[in-house]
Chains A and B, each alone.
Chain A
């Protein structure tokens, strides 16, 4: 059967986006190692993708699309280096690429390509880059998102995002950020930086503060995919498992977090039958696994808190005392007044709103500009029947909120109290 031109084009595009989706990070990681130049490797991979469109449209996708892309990208690199003004500086890499090309019998499936993605993750999440850049670079290189997609996810202009990525690659090259997995002495801190990036990607998707919600959920999926990749590349690391468990448990509530009209639903009012049970089951089993390693960490504790919610049949039947204790432990590991705020909220459900209010008092100084502090205080006062004080606390919270969905929720609470 002869395919029409259009059908061939569609088939080629589908094959390319499937290859990008599944193998972009892996291909780029190995190319950076071969070429020792981040920007050049990305350019060559881009060249190879363009070339794939021309060839695959004509002849159909090759038996091993990923092998084809790798070989083509290496040849593009040979070509680009040959034309470089400072060819001498790349002579070693050039020789190596020629050798690779001659010995490339048939680069079979993706599994036959060395997996260098751990180096790539640690480079993208290097603490010498600013946090937003780490996130953008990780989404671009590991997940294969386009600059346009990343810009849209962050509500940035495409130009600004493109510039950010160019500056990042420039800094990696010029500042000598190594393409390597860190030494054991730096491991905990550097792993922390990687996990923070993954969790930032997740929260960017989860917060649903703005932007098209579809894209935002995609970011949650990307973060979960990254954590799975990390777990695969570095098995036996309790905090990686803890973070994945935390994200799965939080993400399991996605369908219940927004009502039909897109407004925010607080945990208390979730329709719990909407929670994704398979996500919860996976999260719980991962968490159990992580805790059995006796390497305590903040992500595992946060996952444990999320797990208490996941296991509760209702808001009232939640084991709030356990949540209070978990927040205590979290605060011990990493002192943060926000943990104490969350602890006070849990305490208000365990021991009543007065207990919550008492626990809030010492936090007033440090959390005065923080919207959730006032929202929590308003809630406690409302439950205590101190309507006048509750009213002004709600007003304070509303004035500090930059998020329309949140504002609507607080205003609804405020007006529900009557006058």
Chain B
């Protein structure tokens, strides 16, 4: 089964860029990604630019309306994702728990819809 692991964290809760903790944090990301590849479960995975770079698009009455943001003040925001191919939810939980951000924010696991 395919599972999307959505990585959420509140701004300012994870190690800051430029600190030694940040290097270790990124190192842990590399290690996790290597494990996923080695075990053949990784279909994709990316980190996202912050919400200050986000644009929200809606189509209303055929017109495209764009908005700057959304900006979240203290709420957890989506910061990245992995797409896993796993045997079952237990396996997906095991791999999601290896994502370093899970120790700061949260990871939401969603099974990918299968169209019959």
Binding site for B on A (CB under 8 A): 86, 89, 126, 128, 174-178, 180, 182-183, 186
Contacts and interface: CB of A to CB of B under 8 A. Distances in A.
Contacts of A126: 89
Contacts of B3: 176
Contact of A174 (B86, B90, B93, B111): B111
Interface residues of A: mostly helix, strand, loop or mixed?
loop
A178 B87 contact: yes
B88 A176 contact: yes
Interface in B78-116: 86-90, 92-94, 109, 111, 116
Contacts of A174: 111
B48 interface: no
Contact of B89 (A86, A89, A178, A183): A178
Contact of B111 (A89, A176, A180): A176
Interface in B1-39: 1, 3
Given A86-B116, A89-B116, A178 B90 contact: yes
A178 B92 CA distance: 11
A176 B93 contact: no
11 contacts: A86-B116, A126-B89, A174-B111, A176-B86, A176-B111, A177-B88, A177-B90, A178-B90, A180-B88, A182-B90, A186-B90
Interface string B40-79: 0000000000000000000000000000000000000000
A178 B93 CA distance: 12
B87, B88, B92, B94, most chain A CB atoms within 10 A: B88
A178 B88 contact: yes
A39 to B, nearest CB: 16
A128 B94 CA distance: 12
B1 to A, nearest CB: 5
Contacts of B92: 176
B1 A176 contact: yes
10 residue pairs, one from A and one from B, having the closest CB atoms:
A178-B88, A176-B1, A176-B88, A176-B89, A86-B116, A177-B89, A175-B89, A175-B111, A178-B90, A174-B111
B30 to A, nearest CB: 23
